[in-house]
Amino acid sequence: MNTARDLAIAALDVAPGSPVEQGDLSLALAGAEVLDLVDARALSVDGDRLVPAAQPTTGDHLLDQAAAVLVREEPYESVEDFLWRRGKDLASVYVADLERQGLTTRQRGHLISLRSARNVLVDSPERRRAAERLEAGEAVLGVLAAAAGIRDESPEGSEDLAGDSVATVLAAVGDAVQELRAVRQRREIEDAAFDNVWRGF
C-alpha cells in the first residue's frame, strides 16, 4: 500500500475550484513517504530521528529515491528536517510521476495555454483505491489529507492512532504545515501593507 501515491491522487481529485496548496501537499507527501518506508522496514523512528535500515528496494522508484537520501550517519536526521528537505517541490514530482504512468491527462480548452493546462485523473484502479481509502476513513491517510488541505478535518478516531512512530511523523507533518501557513500569512500581510504604502503616494 503506497500512502504517498494515494495522497497525491487524492489531491488531484479535489474540485477544481478548491486547489490544494503545493507546499502543504509536499510536506504531507514527505511524511507519507516516511510512513511508507517504515512499513517497508527501510527505516525506523527513534524518538524524533529517522534511523535508516539496509537500503532495500521497495518496488516504487519514488520511495527508493526517498530512502536513498536518508542521512546514514549518527545522530541521523530529525523527522522535521527530513520533511523540509525532501518536501521541497515534492508535489510536482508526484504529479509528473502520475502523468508518466498514464494516471492523469492534461485538460485543455480553447482558452487554456499548455502552461496552464491542468492535470486531471483518468479512471483507474489506483484512483478508485485512493478514494476508497479516504472514504473508509483510514486514519493515517485521513490525517495527512487534512494536513494537506484535501479534507477539512481528520477522520474520527485518528487521535487513537497506534504506534509512536506514526504519531511522531503525523505530529511533525502538522507542525511543519502550520509553520508554512504562518509564513504565507505573514507574507500576505507584509505584501498588503506594502501595497497600501504605494497607494498612499
Average pLDDT over residues 31-45: 96
What per-residue confidence (pLDDT) applies to 113? 39
pLDDT at 162: 60
Report CA-CA distances (Å) from 124 to 89, 97, 186.
25, 15, 40
Q: What is the pTM of this model?
A: 0.88
**Please, which residues bridge with residue 49 across strands?**
46, 78
Report the pLDDT averaged over residues 103-124: 70
Give the per-residue pLDDT at 196.
66
pLDDT at residue 111 greater than cutoff 60: no
Question: Of 39-43, 48-52, 56-60, 196-200, where does mean pLDDT reach its minimum?
Answer: 196-200
Question: How many other C-beta atoms are found inside a 10 Å radius of the C-beta of residue 187?
Answer: 10
Per the structure, the complete domain to which residue 164 belongs is given by 3-199
DSSP state of 159: G
The domain total for the chain is 1
CA distance 197 to 201: 7
Label residue 200 by pLDDT band (50, 70, 90): low
The mean-pLDDT minimum among 58-72, 118-132, 163-177, 186-200 falls in: 186-200
Distance in angstroms (rounded) separating the CA atoms of residues 107 and 89? 22
The mean pLDDT value for 100-125 works out to: 74
- Has residue 70 got a pLDDT over 80? yes
Cα dist from 194 to 180, 185, 189, 191, 199, whole Å: 21, 14, 9, 5, 9
Q: Is 102 exposed, middle or buried (0-12, 13-18, 19+ CB in 10 A)?
A: exposed
Distance CA 23, CA 17 (A): 18
List C-alpha distances in Å: 46 to 25, 76, 163.
25, 10, 12
Burial class of residue 5 (count of CB atoms within 10 Å of its CB; 0-12, 13-18, 19+): buried
C-alpha cell at 130: 485512493
Q: Please, are residues 5 and 94 in contact by the beta-carbon 8 Å criterion? A: yes
